[in-house]
């Protein structure tokens, strides 16, 4: 699809290049129309040619004004501001907006995206929300744009911490109790283990020994381990369902266990593995610490498991790109991992990418999983849903109040998480999560609900009408926003930033609400009403598509 503005921008750029015989031209879109719709920046040309900007604009303006659709061009302070004719802009915008919500053609590029990846021996807390949501949305965006996306949940189902859990279960565990609330009861055990280990450090040794036995394939331990994984995954899947998150594959760390020795051999064959202080490591030079593959006791570390997993994703899953949606606190680990893989196979360097994100920050409580200070994701979701329900009490919602509250409450939590740059830390602030006014998911849902409501009320079937009666000037501002939908998604994909889509949705809702407060949708003249309906339906389609990418549902009423 071609965008109106982009076409004219390209024309302008070519004109500047041809007229002045320069290599680069800078043309900029304007945010408000007082400076026109587009501006040619003359300074760079002026510098290159040694001519003053006024002189340049005098030669440029007559040529620019001949372009189809251009109303006028004015010289202001080193810029040539280009004004597009309203009717030209309106009809062009309307036409390019029509296929905005359609799926794009295949890009023939496979992206494996690793997100959520909870650690089964640790609780599924609010902290895991970020990877889950951000990963899901980045996957959805790429999917929408036509990439071949493979969603992988790299479950933390292996490692020394399982030794701790196994010790704790053996000593204090009761399966009947655990099965009822696996996530919470396992946390209790995890906390108890650390309490006891402070008094009796030998427990740590026992845990290491347990894990070593598990890794050797002790059948009794494997059975317990498997049970543990199964009940935890089942529990976590319930949360995924509420968040509209899904995966193509659940491949935990244990899946790569059989591939580790082969990975180790390949590293050794390249001469990359050295022994250091009893451990097996890959040296990465002075600037960063070595990558430790195996510890003194010979058991594996997550770096080696990640190397095996990375090789599998490239060689077996045929990934062209791999996104790791994992907190920024692990950036050193990924730096090491990617350097090792580059040493092993130079051409693999371009494949993996770490998409880090900031932590949840808590004002009062010092959060420590080991001490049991955990805010469970499910509690946050439930509180938000309760708040939505409370607001709806005063309205006549009928029987669906639970469903609707679920959509609104969950949406608010998701949106709060992704509405700014993912690299920044997020303050955990109940008030803000539960504030449904302003730039929030409920605001977007409310806007969509009002559009739906107006369409219902008008009771005209516009699906059979093939062309719009009038494209009115009052549509202009909103149509300009509509046109940016796909471009926003592309930018969000390019930067791997969900907030770009989130901000866009706020913007389009603002544009609609502004229109809605000034103009009546349903009018006496049916053609007028039909025009308005087609216009607001276009906006609704975009909002719905955008929200479905965020994994947020929109109710009929709220």
Partner RNA sequence: GCGCUCGUGGCUCAAUUGGAUAGAGCAACGGACUUCGGAUCCGUAGGUUGAAGGUUCGAGUCCUUCCGGGCGUGCCA
**Interacting residues with RNA between 9 and 28 (CB under 7 A):** 26, 28
* Residues numbered 99-128 forming contacts with RNA, rule: CB under 7 A: 119
Round to whole Å and give the CA distance between 530 and 445.
23
- Go through the chain and tell me how many residues it has: 558
What is 61-100 written as a DSSP string? HHHHTTSTTEEEEEEETTEEEEEE-HHHHHHHHHHHHTTT
Nearer to RNA by Cβ, of 437 and 467: the residue is: 437
* Residues numbered 384-413 forming contacts with RNA, rule: CB under 7 A: 388, 391-392, 395, 408
Pick the binder of RNA from 33, 495, 526, 527 (CB under 7 A). Answer: 495
Residue 319: φ, ψ to 5°: -75, 135
Round to whole Å and give the CA distance between 57 and 63.
10
Pick the binder of RNA from 514, 525, 526, 527 (CB under 7 A). Answer: 514
Which pair of structure tokens corresponds to residue 443? 């605001």
Round to whole Å and give the CA distance between 155 and 157.
5
Give the pairing of strands 110-114 and 148-153: parallel
Pick the binder of RNA from 276, 350, 473, 527 (CB under 7 A). Answer: 276
With vertex at residue 465, the alpha carbon angle to CA 463 and CA 468, rounded to the nearest 5 degrees, is 115
User: Among the candidate windows 59-67, 194-202, 460-468, 495-503, which touches RNA by CB under 7 A?
Assistant: 495-503
Q: Under the criterion CB under 7 A, does residue 217 sit at the interface with RNA?
A: no
Q: Under the criterion CB under 7 A, does residue 268 sit at the interface with RNA?
A: no
Please state, in angstroms and as integers, the Cα–Cα distance from residue 77 to each residue in 72, 188, 347, following that order: 16, 68, 49
Pick the binder of RNA from 6, 91, 328, 528 (CB under 7 A). Answer: 328
User: Among the candidate windows 71-79, 133-141, 179-187, 263-271, which touches RNA by CB under 7 A?
Assistant: 71-79
* Residues numbered 422-451 forming contacts with RNA, rule: CB under 7 A: 423-427, 432, 435-439, 442-443, 446, 449-450
Q: Under the criterion CB under 7 A, does residue 180 sit at the interface with RNA?
A: no
Please state, in angstroms and as integers, the Cα–Cα distance from residue 543 to each residue in 395, 507, 512, 538, following that order: 24, 10, 11, 9
Nearer to RNA by Cβ, of 103 and 198: the residue is: 198
Pick the binder of RNA from 6, 339, 453, 548 (CB under 7 A). Answer: 453
Q: Under the criterion CB under 7 A, does residue 202 sit at the interface with RNA?
A: no
Residue 324: φ, ψ to 5°: -105, 110
Nearer to RNA by Cβ, of 147 and 162: the residue is: 162
User: Among the candidate windows 123-131, 215-223, 292-300, 461-469, which touches RNA by CB under 7 A?
Assistant: 292-300
Pick the binder of RNA from 9, 12, 56, 79 (CB under 7 A). Answer: 79
Nearer to RNA by Cβ, of 183 and 292: the residue is: 292
Round to whole Å and give the CA distance between 157 and 435.
37
Pick the binder of RNA from 51, 104, 192, 295 (CB under 7 A). Answer: 295
Nearest approach in angstroms of CB 254 to RNA is 11
* Residues numbered 521-550 forming contacts with RNA, rule: CB under 7 A: 521-522
Please state, in angstroms and as integers, the Cα–Cα distance from residue 108 to each residue in 26, 143, 146, 337, following that order: 32, 11, 8, 27
Which candidate, 419, 409, 471, places its Cα nearest to that of 445?
A: 409
User: Bridge-partner residues for 292, per DSSP?
Assistant: 281
Residue 533: φ, ψ to 5°: -65, -45
Q: Under the criterion CB under 7 A, does residue 338 sit at the interface with RNA?
A: no
* Residues numbered 30-69 forming contacts with RNA, rule: CB under 7 A: 30-31, 34-36, 39, 41, 43-44, 47
Task: Output the CA torsion 306→307→308→314 (10° steps).
Answer: 100
Nearest approach in angstroms of CB 88 to RNA is 20
Nearer to RNA by Cβ, of 21 and 289: the residue is: 289
* Residues numbered 354-383 forming contacts with RNA, rule: CB under 7 A: 359
Q: Under the criterion CB under 7 A, does residue 264 sit at the interface with RNA?
A: no
Q: What is the DSSP letter of 467?
A: S
User: Among the candidate windows 7-15, 70-78, 254-262, 265-273, which touches RNA by CB under 7 A?
Assistant: 70-78
């Amino acid at each position: 699809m071609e965008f109106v503005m982009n076409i004219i921008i390209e024309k302008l750029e070519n004109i500047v290049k041809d007229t002045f015989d320069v290599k680069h031209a800078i043309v900029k879109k304007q945010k408000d129309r007082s400076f026109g719709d587009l501006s040619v920046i003359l300074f760079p040309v002026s510098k290159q040619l040694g001519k003053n900007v006024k002189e340049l604009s005098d030669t440029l303006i007559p040529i620019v004004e001949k372009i189809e659709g251009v109303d006028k061009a004015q010289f202001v302070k080193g810029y040539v501001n280009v004004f597009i004719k309203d009717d030209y802009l309106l009809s062009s915008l309307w036409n390019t907006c029509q296929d905005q919500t359609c799926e794009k053609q295949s890009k023939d590029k496979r992206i494996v995206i690793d997100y959520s990846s909870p650690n089964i021996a640790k609780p599924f807390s609010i902290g895991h929300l970020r990877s889950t949501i951000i990963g899901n949305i980045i996957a959805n965006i790429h999917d929408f744009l036509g990439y071949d996306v493979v969603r992988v949940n790299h479950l933390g189902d292996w490692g020394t911490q399982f030794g701790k859990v196994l010790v704790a279960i053996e000593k204090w565990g009761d399966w009947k109790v655990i099965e009822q609330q696996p996530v919470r009861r396992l946390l209790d055990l995890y906390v108890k283990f650390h309490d006891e280990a402070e008094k009796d450090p030998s427990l740590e040794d026992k845990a290491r020994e347990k894990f070593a036995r598990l890794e050797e394939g002790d059948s009794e331990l494997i059975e317990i381990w498997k049970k543990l994984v199964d009940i935890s995954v089942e529990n976590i899947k319930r949360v995924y369902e509420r968040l509209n998150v899904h995966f193509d594959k659940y491949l935990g760390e244990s899946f790569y266990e059989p591939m580790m020795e082969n990975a180790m051999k390949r590293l050794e064959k390249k001469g990359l593995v050295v022994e250091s202080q009893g451990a097996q490591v890959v040296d990465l030079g002075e600037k960063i610490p070595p990558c430790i593959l195996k510890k003194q006791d010979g058991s594996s570390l997550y770096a080696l498991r990640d190397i095996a997993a990375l090789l599998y994703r490239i060689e077996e899953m045929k990934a062209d790109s791999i996104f790791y949606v994992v907190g920024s606190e692990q950036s050193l680990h990924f730096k090491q991992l990617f350097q090792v893989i580059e040493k092993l196979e130079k051409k693999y360097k371009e494949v993996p990418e770490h998409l880090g994100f900031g932590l949840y920050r808590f004002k009062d409580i010092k959060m420590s999983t080991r001490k049991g200070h955990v805010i469970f994701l499910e509690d946050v979701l439930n509180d938000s849903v309760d708040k939505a329900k409370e607001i709806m009490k005063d309205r006549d919602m009928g029987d669906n109040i639970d469903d609707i509250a679920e959509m609104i409450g969950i949406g608010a939590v998701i949106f709060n998480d992704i509405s700014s740059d993912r690299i920044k830390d997020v303050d955990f602030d109940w008030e803000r999560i539960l504030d449904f006014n302003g730039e929030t998911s409920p605001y977007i849902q409310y806007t969509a609900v009002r559009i739906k409501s107006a369409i219902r009320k008008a009771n005209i079937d516009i699906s059979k009408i093939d062309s719009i009666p009038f494209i009115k000037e009052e549509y202009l501002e909103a149509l300009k926003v509509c046109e940016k939908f796909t471009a926003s998604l592309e930018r969000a994909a390019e930067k791997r930033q969900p907030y770009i889509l989130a901000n866009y949705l706020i913007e389009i809702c603002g544009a609609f609400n502004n229109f809605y407060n000034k103009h009546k949708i349903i009018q006496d003249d049916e053609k007028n009403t039909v025009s308005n309906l087609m216009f607001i339906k276009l906006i609704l389609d975009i909002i719905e598509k955008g929200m479905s990418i965020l994994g947020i549902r929109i109710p009929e009423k709220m």
